[in-house]
Amino acid sequence: MPTEIIKSGEVRVRIAPSPTGPLHIGTARTALFNFLFAKKHRGTFILRIEDTDLERSDPKYEKDIVEHLKWLGIAWDEGVEVGGEYAPYRQSERIYTYSKYVQKLLGEGKAFYCFHSKEELGRERQDQLKAKQTPIHLCEHRGLPERKIKDFMAKGNYVIRFVAPKKKVIFQDLIHGEVEFDTSLFGDFSIAKEIGVPLYNFAAAVDDFEMKISHVIRGEDHISNTPKQILIQEALDFPRPKYAHLPLILNPDRSKLSKRYLETSIGDYRVAGYLPEALVNFMVFLGWSPGTDREIFSLDELVKEFGLEKVQKSGAVFNVEKLDWFNGHYVRQKNLDELAKLCLPYLSAQAGPGEIDLDYAKKIVALERDRMKKLSDIRELAGFFLKEKLEYEKELLRWKKMTDEEVATNLKTVKTMIEPISDDLFTAAAIKETLDKEAEKTGKGELYWPFRAALSGLKQSPPPQEIAEVLGKEKTLLRIRAAIEKIGRG
């Protein structure tokens, strides 16, 4: 698609999640694209909570959405001012607005009351499907006289339906180009449960008008809603915003995104130890490309580079390995103090009762940061630092075909050689210098492998002299003694 010419300040966009679940990747990506588009054009980004479904909406999910958009750095520019900040707009607080427009459509004969029961509609749908017809409802209640309407309303149970004109709805999608729908496939679709309880398409059309939304940027799964919203806009003489439908997010095999990822919330990724800047960098590539090989962008850099003309039409593949790569990059970019503080909760959980000293945490993190993909990795990578006693099989101490006696001898040699090093000089450099000459005689693997395994209890870990410096002399010697006992040559 050609680049759209937009005047600075004229853009107004929104993200409109329902508080029926926590913030997920798909919604967060849509929010990010709207945010970047607004900032690129010095426009306004709005958060609107679509909470008219009172049975399914829950304030805890609104709180989750708000908290995690802020955590990602996706801030909105407008809303209900509370204590110097903008709370999101809520549809539940705008009932009068919807009622006014429903009444207008009813008064002009563009909407009507439908009194069919769910059971009747269900039977009609099943009959149409059996006959291989498109399941639509063309309601005979369209022209009911006022007396009949009052009789039905006294019994309750009704919806308000829109009189859909039979026509072709054509709109220019900023990503997909010209899109056309035949409205004869819609039937008389519902717009409200009752006067003050709007359904999605009607509320979205009204809100987009009232909030002067210039561009509706949302997922491709909403593209079938667009013609219905356009019909409502036309019936109410609203101007039509411009539409851009983002590509679907797919599994690595290009199938529909599985629940494993789709239902993993931003909060879950946060708890797992993913950083907000990594998630932002990862999400922007779910459908957008800068047109170069560059992959690392700050939020400010993305604002400068972003454009809808660079959004792809085809599905965007979700690759968790790529997310881990982004996160590992940002983990390594953190200064040690900040990274240690971020890792502290994971280390504390691993250690059990008692607090972990921040200085000790910094030593551990400094040693392990290059192997971390996410913050929670520190638990598995460095848990051995926090244990009083290591649990491992004695075979782990053996380098290749060493005998038990050879393992024990080399461990005793290490112990004897490092014991004279004073506590204040017990550093990785001093330990390595002390042992390297001996390693030339015995073989590096034969000397260092049992030493490392004794200190970590793992097949893979940092070099033993670096572990020893973090553990300190006392703990290092204790673990060597325990390994000698384990090998059975004490």
- Residues with active-site annotation: 259
- C-alpha 68/C-alpha 61 separation (Å) is 11
CB atoms within 10 A of CB 268: 13
- C-alpha 302/C-alpha 451 separation (Å) is 48
What backbone phi and psi angles, to 5 degrees, belong to 472? 90, 165
Residues 6+ apart with CB under 8 A from 249: 25, 26, 29, 257, 261, 262, 286, 287, 315, 316, 317, 318
- Give yes or no for a contact between 142 and 164, defined as CB atoms under 8 angstroms apart: no
DSSP secondary structure letters along 326-358: HHHHHHHHS-HHHHHHHHHHHHHHHH-SSPPPH
Residues 6+ apart with CB under 8 A from 94: 207, 210
- Find out whether 259 is annotated in a ligand binding site: yes
What backbone phi and psi angles, to 5 degrees, belong to 144? -60, 140
| Identity at 239, one-letter amino acid code | P
CA angle 386, 347, 448 (to 5 degrees): 45
- 3-state secondary structure at position 21: coil
- C-alpha 288/C-alpha 464 separation (Å) is 45
- 3-state secondary structure at position 23: coil
- C-alpha 130/C-alpha 395 separation (Å) is 67
Burial class (CB in 10 A: 0-12, 13-18, 19+), 350: middle
**What are the binding residues for ATP?**
259
